[in-house]
């Protein structure tokens, strides 16, 4: 993990940076030093939580380059346990336009509580 301060370099125009700072409310379900988990506004499954790094990055690869993806996966699994997803869950990083990404602050979707189809749409 970079030594750069993760909480003092937000992008004021970024929706998820504004959730990290508390400026925009969200239903937070778990946090750790590097990440925050909150419920998706438009859930696609009985459990749909977004896990985001406190430090701004545009996508998962950028966060990985900063050494920040382990914290996202670890927190997602903690939320899955909290939510009782003992039959499994799906983790998704939409990346870029064709990947369906609309918010360009890294976010890991945690989906569960129903059987997930494959291939995804």
d(CA 112, CA 31): 19
Using rule CB under 6 A, residue 42 touches ligand 5GP: yes
The smaller minimum CB distance to Zn ion, of residues 23 and 33, is found at: 23
The smaller minimum CB distance to Zn ion, of residues 90 and 104, is found at: 104
Question: Catalytic residue at 105?
Answer: no
Binds 40: which of Zn ion, ligand 5GP, none (CB < 5-8 Å by kind): ligand 5GP
Contact 44, 55 (CB under 8 A): no
DSSP string, 81-114: HHTT-TT--EEE---TTTTT--S-S--EEEEESS
In the complex, minimum distance from the CB of residue 93 to ligand 5GP, in angstroms, rounded to a whole number: 8
d(CA 44, CA 100): 14
Binding site for ligand 5GP (CB under 6 A): 15, 26, 38-42, 50, 94, 100-103
């Amino acid at each position: 993990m970079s030594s750069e301060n993760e909480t003092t370099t937000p992008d004021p125009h970024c929706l998820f940076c504004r959730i990290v700072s508390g400026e925009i409310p969200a239903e937070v379900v778990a946090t750790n030093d590097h990440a925050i988990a909150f419920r998706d506004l438009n859930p696609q499954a009985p459990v749909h939580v977004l896990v985001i790094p406190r430090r701004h990055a545009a996508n998962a690869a950028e966060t990985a380059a900063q050494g920040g993806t382990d914290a996202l996966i670890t927190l997602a699994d903690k939320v899955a346990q909290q939510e009782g997803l003992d039959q499994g869950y799906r983790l998704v990083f939409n990346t870029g336009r064709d990947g369906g990404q609309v918010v360009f602050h890294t976010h890991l979707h945690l989906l569960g509580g129903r059987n997930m189809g494959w291939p995804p749409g």
